[in-house]
Amino acid sequence: MNIQTAIIELSNHYGAHNYSPLNVVLKKGEGIWLWDMDGNKYVDCLSAYSAVNQGHCHPRIIGALCEQAQELTLTSRAFHNEKMGLFLQTLCQMAEMEMALPMNTGAEAVETAIKTIRLWAHKVKGIARDQAEIIVCRDNFHGRTISTVSMSSEQAYRDGFGPFTPGFKIVEFASIEALADAVNERTAAILIEPIQGEAGIRIPPDAYLAGVQQLCAEHELLFALDEIQTGFGRTGKLFCYQHEAGVKPDILIVGKALSGGVYPISAVLSSREILGLFTPGQHGSTFGGNPLAAAVGIAALDVLIDEDLSARSAELGSYLLAQLNRDWGFRDLIEIRGRGLFIGIELSVPVRPHCERLLQEGVLCKETHDNVLRIAPPLVINKKEVDFLLEKLIPVLEPLPAQANVRMAV
């Protein structure tokens, strides 16, 4: 038995089986690359579900982590710390928001957004206590807590975990009509993803977000966007909603790449009017806004801007999509869709075998919803590396024999 097999067996023996990882044990990461314990090298096409937009172990982010770790790591929010204010200022100015409430994980940020919406609904809109409703979309993914699975339509996320949190109405994604029909006197907000990532990179039609924003304005609802996966350059804009002119959410939920994959950091951003409703003792987190997280977050945000990673995602994402959409005649293909470096390849068959074949070719991908192959490399990827990815990916998608030997136009 080799060491990788032994480690996998150790994890399977002592760890709860709530994931089904590929059979590889990773040891090192740099940029878009990962290495296993045997020294084999792989292109990372998952980016830890878009947490590693800045690339693995970015030296500026790691430098900030190491420097701060030798000074002060945690104080709790019982005291001020040197770094949090600057971090929140950097984040708010980048997002053009007035205030931020820092947390740790994406699920915590969504929970915080839910509490924020309900607090606003009672104190500002005047909805009776404990009666506020939030409209969400079918096939969403907002986390794994009881409240977030309560607003999920995915049975696998819910099975055995009831009773569920009330106060959510689920409607079809990408339908303004469905949202409008669900609004009633108890509706406080619409909470959506601008692109549904876990559902298979499902992209709504043009002007959908503008339509949601208009509907919210007409009915005095909060417009809340979960950009935990789509934010910080993933789709070719700093935030995905910026693809539509004039759109700006009332509440913006961020996480993942907020730390460059180095440390758990998330936040809810909004106006002073909304987040200013919180008073001491109503909400909190021991680790939220800790100085180590704040130092890492500042560095991660600086890297996004200084390296113009949103523009790189837009350029190389368009190139990658164009190459994939050539007339290859891929076997079992239903659709290829994407925005920036956030691409889903939907097949009529399960794609887990494709992921396993790509593993042997030095590419790490993962299926979502069984039949969608997600392609989301770190945004620091370059064109030569995209071409390498295409050379590995296209044969695994099994083009028609007449096209299989056609040299890619690169």
Give catalytic residue positions.
141, 226, 256
Quick one: three-class SS letters along the chain? CCHHHHHHHHHHHHCCCCCCCCCCCEEEEEECEEEECCCCEEEECCHHHHCCCCCECCHHHHHHHHHHHCCCCCCCCCCCCCCHHHHHHHHHHHHCCCEEEEECCHHHHHHHHHHHHHHHHHHHHCCCCCCCEEEEECCCCCCCCHHHHHCCCCHHHHCCCCCCCCCEEEECCCCHHHHHHHCCCCEEEEEECCCECCCCCECCCCCHHHHHHHHHHHHCCEEEEECCCCCCCCCCCCCHHHHCCCCCCCEEEECHHHHCCCCCCEEEEECHHHHCCCCCCCCCCCCCCCHHHHHHHHHHHHHHHHCCHHHHHHHHHHHHHHHHCCCCCCCCEEEEEECCCCEEEEECCCCHHHHHHHHHCCEECEEECCCEEEECCCCCCCHHHHHHHHHHHHHHCCCCHHHHCCCCCC
